[in-house]
Structure 1
Amino acid sequence: MMLPLDLLMFAALIAAILIGYPVSFTLAGIATLFAVLGWFTGQFDMSLLGALAQRVFGLMTNDVLIAIPLFVFMGVVLEKSRIAEDLLETAGRLFGTLRGGLGISVVLVGALLAASTGIVGATVVAMGMIALPTMLRNGYDPRLASGIVCTSGTLGQIIPPSTLLIILSDVMSNAYQQAQYAQGKFTIETISVGQIFAAALLPGLTLVAIYIIYLLVKAWLQPASAPAMAQLDESPSRTQVARAILPPVLLIIAVLGSILGGIATPGEAASVGAIGALLMASARLSAGTPRLVIAGAISLALLAVLIGVHPVRLQRDDAGLADWLVGGLATLLVAVAAAAICQALARTFRADVLKPVMNSTLSVTAMIFATILTASVFSLVFRGLGGDHRVEAFLANMPGGPDGALLFVMALVFVLGFFLDFVEISVILLPLVAPALILMGHDPVWLSVLIAINLQTSFLTPPFGFSLFYLRGAAPPEVTTGQIYRGVIPFILLQIAGIALIWLLPPVATFLPKLVF
């Protein structure tokens, strides 16, 4: 009797990760070990490893994944330059007089930061250092305050742009293509990042609404748990509100609008976000009115419109006077924008912001790509051992048909979220189960949103929820770890309710992609 090496391989991976070995080394090591075992037992063909170089090259040249370091850079710049802090302080003063208002302001700011940074750690730490002490000083229940901060920080994983959605779009696109090949279709359709972003937008805002409704009901039923601020030193003026909220909103519109409108690829939109965040940081660090920053931002906006209306192609033989005038104007706009960017780089460098931003971007990007690359090695060996066929047969024989299979996968992802990171689940488990689910008839875009919300919940689930760890490091000493853990339980239930809502009402996820694309 031959050993089920595919099952043993997956079990060994989970065990090694739980012991604490680095994930990328674990993936590559387990794959190599079981490839050799499979070769000795005659269950694995070593020639399959010849496809490894092609897989690595395909990942490193993937246009979708190129956007990840740029979006990470954008988020870290906004966090390190303290723009997030200004936004939190302004929103707290704006909503503080309402019962539960401080909590609502944290949720709304979390949504704004999610759409402009997409980084859970940065958002949770910022809100844990600013909003959490403010809520505690005003009499909030420490459990409720901790749950609000942890949950609001995770919105960066479901509200686009986010690294989770970018990785999911790539995984689901590959799974969708495999499913079509299995059906004998030769005209292969793909899933774009824009479709996944559009699909996740309304569900993300729905989660925000669910959190706010819960806070309002909680404050009404238990006023002592979320009281209004007893006194407010000074309400923010319209100018202060505009300065805090308008720049992130404009950045969100520029990034998401360019992707959803089909104007830019994800990589191009991410570069717009990175430059926009850099200019915002420069304006935040300037002593007076940031004239050059404003001129640079306006120049970039005009340049985008100008090139869209009248493309500059001066190398053509029939270029006339109008073309040369447009070319001259475009050159002037580029010069102003370049001067503003150079000033932003110099200013952030002198303020000791640029170096930690680059270090954080490098470490986060390296972690993500190392996991993706080594997961490719793992999946290649796992498929070579017949694991993909075993998974397909297992899901096909699940009671309840396609819905039963999907329910099982969602439960498995939820349980794995207690122990594994979203990147690990996305690049290890989903490539194995997603093609089978799509073959059963599930819409891949709708499926992506369900899984995204499920993976977002993994940041909240003890014992290894990353959002819990981030808050533990930033919370005041009087907030205990037990209070943080108990505080997120109602929000985990709200997440499950959000998943159920998207399951029962698929148009919440599919309406916008169908409308836009």
Structure 2
Amino acid sequence: MIALSMFVVVLILLMVGIPVAFVFGSVAIAFAFLVPELGLDVFAVLPFRIYGIMSNTTLMAVPLFITMGLILEKSKMAERLLVSMSALFRDVRGGLAVSVVLVGAMLAASTGIVSASVVMMSVIALPLMLKAGYDKGLASGTIAASGTLGQIIPPSIILIILGDVMSVSVGELFMGAVLPGLLLVGLYISYILTRAYFRPLDAPLHSHKQQEKEGIKNFSLKEIIISIVPPLLLMFFVLGSIFAGIASPTESAAFGVVGAIILSQLNKSLNTQMLKYASMESLKLTGMIFMILIGATAFSLVFNELGGSDLILKFFSEDIGDVWVFIGFAMLGIFILGFFIDFIEISFIIVPILVPIMESFGIDPIWFAVLIALNLQASFLTPPFGLSLFFLKGAAGDSIKTIEIYKGIIPFILLQLLGLGLVILFPDLVFAFL
């Protein structure tokens, strides 16, 4: 019960808004100090665990993929990609929204940074969609949902973290997440086209002259190919080297950084200021993730010593003893927690508690990790604390109201849950490339 109260205290402090790493570390120290049979001696092994984290070659891929994404963002390639795709689908009702989904998928496969994708598409695509007469809810929902595809489509930062936390191959996780990611893309596009067909006023089809006035230029096929092919090639080489077993995720991430620099140079946008920006932002994001990981390690050390993991394992494996009840509880719990806390906290605190139970039921860890990743993607979309909604509102300003964003995102959250349900019912979606 002390361990469970420790868990509750952490959740309360996180919801209050105290920085995550400090919550984990301070609660661990407080409970270790207050419980006489534990004491601060429990932290004697913590330096060895921290050293293990810092020397983990798998986690080295995190700053490299972040750097690659930031370089691509600053090189304006992502911007050209979005505008070109908009021109490609200009004659399809709902084509602007479809192009946003496809660009979101391509950015996810080449950058994996949700914040950059959502902000960039909010700045570029949202004004185009609103000028074209798109329903504000449909426009905002499409942008927010498409920007979060980086959570599930490789190379995903969350998949790298889950691979480390669950002790599974990141390369296999990447391969297992490909079809579920494409499934979500297909569900989003199907919904947009269906809504545009039955409610044409939500996605008007304009003449070429009107579209040019709204900022959608008439790109030639050559210009479209030049905009689309380079990011696709980078994605192919980075992911292809992992899937073919030629390189580890860390090695392919390093290759991706070099590739992004080369593409920036070809795009004539490479400069010292860009490299400095990408390096500093990567340092900040990576520092935040590793600080949370160190705090979470201290928390799990005390939590396990207090018997919290054993209690939860006994409850599910002995008291309940049904694998589907456990999966249902796990998915529902992660989904609800996603309303209030970030995916990084969930990955470092909740997932390690679930891993022993998963192993006791004989659940495949790759499949379970993909389910968690799909579920965590929804945490970026769910009000009131969905980060994608904050990014969108911040970039959109007064052009769209918060309530309109909330209304627009609901259908995409339901599609997200539908995709999760389909992967639960059809595990072969994960194992197709394994």
Q: What's the TM-score once normalised by structure 2's chain length?
A: 0.96
2:393 matches 1:472? yes
Shift of 1:267: 1.1
- Of 495, 500, 508, which aligns to 2:416? 495
Q: Residues 462-508 of structure 1: CA distance to partner in whole angstroms, max 9, x if unpaired?
A: 11100000001111412001101111000000000000000000000
Q: Which amino acid aligns with 2:9?
A: A
Shift of 1:117: 0.5
Distance 1:229 1:66 in 2: 48
2:49 matches 1:55? yes
Check conservation: 2:25, 2:295, Cα contact below 8 A: yes
Distance 2:392 2:51 in 1: 38
Shift of 1:275: 0.8
Q: Residue 185 of structure 1 aligns with which residue?
A: none
Alignment of 1:352-367 (within 5 A): 352-367=273-288
Q: What SS does the aligned partner of 1:167 have?
A: helix
Q: Residue 34 of structure 1 aligns with which residue?
A: 31
2:407 matches 1:486? yes
Distance 2:200 2:359 in 1: 47
Distance 1:492 1:390 in 2: 33
Shift of 1:397: 4.8
Q: Residues 219-249 of structure 1: CA distance to partner in whole angstroms, max 9, x if unpaired?
A: 1110110122332435321221121111100
Shift of 1:285: 2.2
2:219 matches 1:236? yes
Q: Residue 295 of structure 2 aligns with which residue?
A: 374
Larger radius of gyration: 1
2:350 matches 1:429? yes
Q: Residues 337-376 of structure 1: CA distance to partner in whole angstroms, max 9, x if unpaired?
A: xxxxxxxxxx411xx3222212211111111111111101
2:13 matches 1:19? no
Distance 2:250 2:321 in 1: 41
Q: Residue 93 of structure 1 aligns with which residue?
A: 87
Shift of 1:17: 0.8
2:342 matches 1:348? no
Shift of 1:6: 0.3
- Of 88, 100, 110, which aligns to 2:104? 110
Shift of 1:398: 6.0
Alignment of 1:365-444 (within 5 A): 365-397=286-318, 399=320, 401-444=322-365
- Of 205, 210, 221, which aligns to 2:187? 210
Check conservation: 2:317, 2:360, Cα contact below 8 A: no
Distance 1:476 1:80 in 2: 22
Q: Residue 83 of structure 1 aligns with which residue?
A: 77
Q: Residues 95-146 of structure 1: CA distance to partner in whole angstroms, max 9, x if unpaired?
A: 0220010000000000000000000000000000000110000010000100
Distance 2:85 2:57 in 1: 37
Distance 2:405 2:318 in 1: 40
Distance 1:409 1:382 in 2: 19
2:63 matches 1:69? yes
Deviation larger for 270-279 or 355-364: 355-364
Shift of 1:394: 2.1
Check conservation: 2:378, 2:413, Cα contact below 8 A: yes
Q: Residue 259 of structure 1 aligns with which residue?
A: 242
Deviation larger for 149-158 or 392-401: 392-401
User: In structure 2, do the counterparts of structure 1 residues 114 and 229 end up closer, same or farther at CA, with 3 Å as the change threshold?
Assistant: farther
Query: Unaligned 5+ residue runs, structure 2?
Result: none
Check conservation: 2:242, 2:252, Cα contact below 8 A: yes
Q: Residues 240-263 of structure 1: CA distance to partner in whole angstroms, max 9, x if unpaired?
A: 112111110010011101111111
Q: Residue 282 of structure 1 aligns with which residue?
A: 265
Q: Residue 5 of structure 1 aligns with which residue?
A: 2
Distance 2:108 2:426 in 1: 24
User: In structure 2, do the counterparts of structure 1 residues 145 and 431 end up closer, same or farther at CA, with 3 Å as the change threshold?
Assistant: same
Distance 1:285 1:236 in 2: 20
Q: Which amino acid aligns with 1:223?
A: P
Distance 2:247 2:194 in 1: 42
Alignment of 1:134-213 (within 5 A): 134-173=128-167, 191-213=168-190
Q: What SS does the aligned partner of 1:227 have?
A: coil
- How many residues are matched? 428
Q: Residues 297-327 of structure 1: CA distance to partner in whole angstroms, max 9, x if unpaired?
A: xxxxxxxxxxxxxxxxxxxxxxxxxxxxxxx
Check conservation: 1:133, 1:476, Cα contact below 8 A: no
Shift of 1:45: 5.8
Query: Unaligned 5+ residue runs, structure 1?
Result: 174-190, 287-346
Taking only the aligned residue pairs, the percentage that are identical comes to: 47
Q: Which amino acid aligns with 2:262?
A: L
Distance 1:153 1:229 in 2: 25
Q: Residues 193-238 of structure 1: CA distance to partner in whole angstroms, max 9, x if unpaired?
A: 1100000011101110010111111111101101223324353212
How well do the aligned residues superpose, as a CA RMSD in angstroms?
Answer: 1.3
Q: Residues 364-394 of structure 1: CA distance to partner in whole angstroms, max 9, x if unpaired?
A: 1111111111101110110011111011022
Distance 1:35 1:230 in 2: 68
Distance 1:439 1:214 in 2: 39
Q: Residue 338 of structure 1 aligns with which residue?
A: none
Alignment of 1:285-296 (within 5 A): 285=268
Q: Which amino acid aligns with 2:185?
A: V
